[in-house]
Amino acid sequence: MRIRTNRGRCQTRTILLIVTGYAAAFVVFGLAVESPAALLRGLADILTTRDALLTDYFGVGGIGGGCVNAGLLTLAAAFIYLRTEAKITGASVAALFLVLGFGLFGKNLLNAWVIVFGVYIFARFRRETFATHINTAFFGAALAPVFSEILFSTSIPLTLRVPLAVATSLVIGFVLAPAAAHLFKTHMGFSLYNMGFTAGIVGTLIVAMYKSYGFVPDPVFIWTTGNNRLLATFLSLVFASMLGAAYVIDRFALARVGEIKRAPGQAPTDFIAMVGFGPTPANMALTGLIGMIYVLAIGGDLNGPMIGAILTIVGFSAYGKTSGQHRSDHAWRLRRFVDEALDGVRSVSHARGAVRHDACADWGALRLAMGHRRRRCAFVRRVERRAAARRPRPVQQRFRRGHRGFGPGPGDPRSAGGVRLRRPGPECVT
């Protein structure tokens, strides 16, 4: 048992080390593209701005300020994971990459922690460890802009902003965990963004409540352009390093990505627990490259919100997403639909054959028992006839119709003087 525990801790620290490496890469990139003085001014602007959608931190504090904010925020989150001794799973990797991605447009070093502390209060209230709800805490930080919106609003007196912002964020964090557990049942894991769904509902209620008191937040739209070459080069290096890390951990990581693609992807699908951590970074790199290439192919702009969306795909590639998930999932659903349709046609065709064969059976009663309360449409009847026509004909019917050189039978109308008989149905078996 001790060996397994030490092995699990070693894997947890390895994953955290890799994630913190990418967070540190964003910090280094931010320091490389801007001077320290401009960087500090940009961070100050980011911390004191309203963060409602869409607020591109590249337009508020520059590329350097946005990347440093995202990197430091992710490093702090990884430190909390390490201190709480939480088990790092695919959901944990997704949560950390969401912190890194949304640190470019909405989350900052000021507004994200009050909601996390609210989840901590809920864990203490339930007498559970914070490590049990740590993923919920960082997923729930999606509502962090509520704190900044209230704190830096000009329509609320200054004496009310701080306590109101803190109290609202604490309540949000306290209710997110139980709400997410109940709302998971509405989609049964077919949506990987369960906390996003929950945060949307809770955020709608919060905004509606504030609007009822006359506080209507102003819309924000800050969007930067013209940085595709620089940011695409940086992201390409990040994804290439993921492929390299996957190869170092597991030499057959790329070959084992097929095991991930065959997974259904329905939450909870933890790729780290299913195939190990080796193929998981390879899958993350492939999905990230596909997302970046798609944005560039359609002429999109690489900026804070767009890179955040790409990193969201990358993060959830450890917890349900693959580069071939949509194709395999749709093919599986289509095949299942066709099989069910053919089974239905066969069952109806066999039932009709049974009724014709048994003179004592009541076709109307059988249809009522099968649940066919209405008359079938002409399309269904045509499909039934075609399905019945493809069935092999009995030997006696072949002889009567001159099949395989037997010649026309005595009852065939093509024979001289023949008498037209009632054509036996194709369901006849005698």
The answer on 50 and 6 residing in a single domain is yes
Query: Residue 343 belongs to what domain range?
Result: 328-391
CB-based contact 413:342 (threshold 8 Å): no
Which DSSP string corresponds to 317-337?
TTTT--TTHHHHHHHHHHHHH
Hey, what are 383's tokens? 């499909």
pLDDT tens digits, one per residue of 164-214: 999 999 999 999 999 998 888 888 778 778 888 999 999 999 999 988 888
> Cα-flanking dihedrals φ and ψ of residue 91, to 5°?
-65, -35
The answer on 381 and 305 residing in a single domain is no
- Output the CA torsion 324→25→34→108 (10° steps): 80
The answer on 342 and 264 residing in a single domain is no
The answer on 404 and 384 residing in a single domain is no
Hey, what are 250's tokens? 């597991």
Hey, which residues does 401 pair with through a beta bridge? 408
* Res 423: pLDDT: 47
Sites in the chain below the pLDDT cut of 70: 1-8, 324-380, 383, 390-430
Hey, what are 228's tokens? 């595709």
For 137-163, b where at least 16 C-beta lie within 10 A, e where not — what string? bbbbbbbbbbbbbbbbbeebeeeeeee
* Res 420: pLDDT: 46
The answer on 368 and 402 residing in a single domain is no
Which of these three, 280, 302, 323, is where a domain ends?
323
State how many domains the chain has. 3
The answer on 311 and 243 residing in a single domain is yes
The answer on 407 and 374 residing in a single domain is no
Q: Collect all residues with Cβ–Cβ distance below 8 Å to 227 and sequence separation of at least 6.
A: 58, 63, 301, 302, 303
Nearest to 295 by CA among 227, 196, 220: 227
Whole-angstrom distance between the N-terminal and C-terminal Cα of the chain?
A: 69
Hey, what are 68's tokens? 């440093």
pLDDT tens digits, one per residue of 379-419: 667 767 777 776 666 555 544 444 444 444 454 444 444 44
Q: Collect all residues with Cβ–Cβ distance below 8 Å to 6 and sequence separation of at least 6.
A: none
As a whole number of angstroms, the distance between CA 194 and CA 136 comes to: 10
The answer on 190 and 297 residing in a single domain is yes
pLDDT tens digits, one per residue of 277-305: 889 999 999 999 999 999 999 999 999 99
The answer on 21 and 141 residing in a single domain is yes
* Res 301: pLDDT: 95
CB-based contact 26:70 (threshold 8 Å): yes
The answer on 305 and 284 residing in a single domain is yes
* Res 76: pLDDT: 96
* Res 188: pLDDT: 79
The answer on 84 and 28 residing in a single domain is yes
* Res 430: pLDDT: 40
* Res 117: pLDDT: 96
Nearest to 186 by CA among 199, 175, 197, 200: 197
The answer on 428 and 334 residing in a single domain is no
pTM of the model: 0.73
* Res 294: pLDDT: 95
